[in-house]
Amino acid sequence: MKKYTIVVCDHIHEAGLKMLENDENINFIMAADEPKDKLVTEIIPQADVAITRSSTDVDEFFISHAKNMKAIVRAGVGVDNVDIPGCSKEGIIVMNVPTANTIAAVELTMAHMLSCMRMFPYSHNHLKQERIWKREKWYGYELKGKKLGVIGFGNIGSRVAKRAASFEMDIIAYDPYIHPSKVTDLDMTYTKNFEDILACDIITIHTPKNKETVGIIGEAEIAKMKDGVVLINCARGDLYNEEALYNGLKSGKVRFAGIDVFGKEPATNHPLLDLDNIVVSPHLGANTYESQYNIGTQAAENAIQAAKGIAFAHAMNLPIDETKIPSFVKPFLEMGQKIGFLASQLNKSQIISIKVSGQGEIAEYVDSLSTFVAVGAMSQNSGDTINYVNAEFVAKEKGIEITSEALADSSTFKNLITVKLTTAEGISTISATIFDDGVKRIVAFDGFDIEVALKGNMIFFKNSDVPGVIGSIGSTLAKHNVNIADFSLARNDKGQALAVILVDDHVDDETLKELGALEACLSVDYARL
């Protein structure tokens, strides 16, 4: 009977190691204490599967020695230290363990919330370190009756809300990618207006880290908050703009903050540590014995199944043999994912259905295309938890219908894919192709025939077809020092026009607001690819 070699590169819970030792089909190598050079050059070449954590970088050097490797299991959520594209190129599947530390992160959030409201670390140090008994110095606040704003109502955010409700707090949740009933069924308030969150007494954030969420709370948002607000972040670094948070705490606008994560870690010299109205911890979201047990055992189970070829749970990249598909297919799969990601940015709301159509030779692979499109569309909300293996399951869980169809060949394009994304707010339809120059291009958008490269910072400006609009757009962008890289125009038979503008730099909300205020504007949307 064939034995499979699994190498454990970093320390995991003993229970996970026992699972590997006790499987008669597994040759288990514990290499957590080996020098990294020896690990990579002498041990990794033997491995069918490797289990890693943050101490081992899966980089070009590592990958070049992983000649027999089927999969890498990252024992935890984050995969920042794994070169996923490099692994994909060599056919190595990258998996993580995204739900093992859920309860640990939830309870740490509550610990930070209580510490902020009652200043426990400070009163503790005052008594224990300084030996001063001064009760009148440590008046705090109760959670009961306070309004808690929860940004992101997923696996962790929803559980924080449930626990906060047991403290008799009033919960308001903001998450444009879920059905409101997920909140309202718990007798909590769902809002689509971010301003409602900014009016809360306490705000906690539980979103993936992506282009939409980085800096979601900055100077402008803090300025709109009530005086004495309390801010919590046990999710990802940089979701709060750290300079804005520092200024808010320094001025007293933010009365207290509880922070477990930082933009750059370790954060031993961070300016926030100099303040006396912040509770901090060194990224302890997964640091419970129960969580480590779950991470270790789930990582071991996933590694065993991957080694045997049974399943690739929570795969982060494409589990296909590229030698068995025509070379032209993969760029279309990648383009499909980009279109899904684009459509979800332009139509920010709960996804109801995703329909993918293919014309030409690519139509034969439309089912695979639909998976890629779904991963792109759902990644805005699902972050690390969405992948090519579980996309269909996640969609079903969220009530999203995914369909695909092969159509007759296009009379205009050799290959064409069309994505129709339906959300609670509307429908976006995007058609795209790849020309002989290899550039991915949109060729139709919501009824407009338009040709524009699928890349970079993109403004979609729909307007009444009247004179002077182009000049007004250019003047507005110039006013905000936004440089135009490309400007594509289209018209329809309804007296409307569409401009898709590629710009060199990020476009802020103020600029978009001014564009939207132009007299002829019907809608303006912005996306970053």
Q: What is the pLDDT along the chain (529 residues), one digit of tens a residue?
A: 679 999 999 999 999 999 999 999 999 999 999 999 999 999 999 999 999 998 899 999 999 999 999 899 999 887 878 998 888 878 788 999 988 889 999 999 999 999 999 999 999 999 999 999 999 999 999 999 999 999 999 889 999 999 999 999 999 999 988 889 999 999 999 999 999 999 999 999 999 888 889 999 999 999 999 999 999 999 999 999 999 999 999 999 999 999 999 999 999 999 999 999 999 999 999 899 999 999 999 999 999 998 987 877 788 876 555 556 787 888 898 899 899 989 998 988 889 999 999 999 999 999 889 988 998 898 776 654 576 767 787 788 788 999 999 998 888 899 999 999 999 889 999 999 998 878 899 999 999 999 999 988 999 999 999 999 999 999 999 999 999 999 999 999 999 999 999 999 889 999 999 999 999 999 999 998 8
Is there a shared CATH topology between the 4-98+290-308 domain and the 102-280 domain?
yes
Tokens read off for 509: 């909300």
Dihedral pair phi/psi, residue 148, rounded to 5°? -105, 120
Can you state the angle between helices 289-308 and 14-21, rounded to 10 degrees? Answer: 20
How many other CB atoms are there within 10 angstroms of residue 385's CB atom?
18
pLDDT attached to residue 49: 97
Residue found under tokens 């692994």? 87
Question: For 102-280, CATH number?
Answer: 3.40.50.720
Distance from chain centroid for Cα 31: 31
- Coil vs helix vs strand at 37: helix
Q: Output the CA angle 289-291-295, nearest 5 degrees.
A: 115
- Nearest Cα residue to 346 out of 216, 197, 454: 454
Residue found under tokens 């982060």? 316
- Coil vs helix vs strand at 162: helix
Superfamily of domain 4-98+290-308 in the CATH hierarchy: NAD(P)-binding Rossmann-like Domain (3.40.50.720)
Measured distance CA(41)–CA(26) in Å, rounded: 21
> Is-above-0.85 flag for pTM?
no
DSSP H helices in 33-119: 36-38, 60-65, 84-89, 102-118
pLDDT tens-digit map of 140-193: 999 999 999 999 998 899 999 999 999 999 999 999 888 899 999 999 999 999
> Do residues 8 and 30 make contact, with C-beta atoms less than 8 angstroms apart?
yes
pLDDT attached to residue 392: 80
CA torsion angle for 116, 117, 121, 125 (degrees, to 10)? 130
Which residues does the annotation mark as catalytic? 236, 265, 283
Tokens read off for 346: 């332009």
Measured distance CA(189)–CA(166) in Å, rounded: 15
The DSSP result for 307-346, as a single string, is HHTS--TTB-S--S-GGGS-TTHHHHHHHHHHHHHHHHHH
Backbone φ/ψ region at 437: left (φ over 0), alpha (ψ -120 to 50), beta: alpha
Tell me which fold the domain 322-528 belongs to: 60s Ribosomal Protein L30; Chain: A; (3.30.1330)
Measured distance CA(221)–CA(197) in Å, rounded: 10
In the chain, domain spans? 4-98+290-308, 102-280, 322-528
pLDDT attached to residue 98: 83
Residue 102 vs residues 105, 155, 180, 285: alpha-carbon distances, Å = 5, 7, 22, 8
Find the radius of gyration of the CA atoms of the chain. Answer: 25
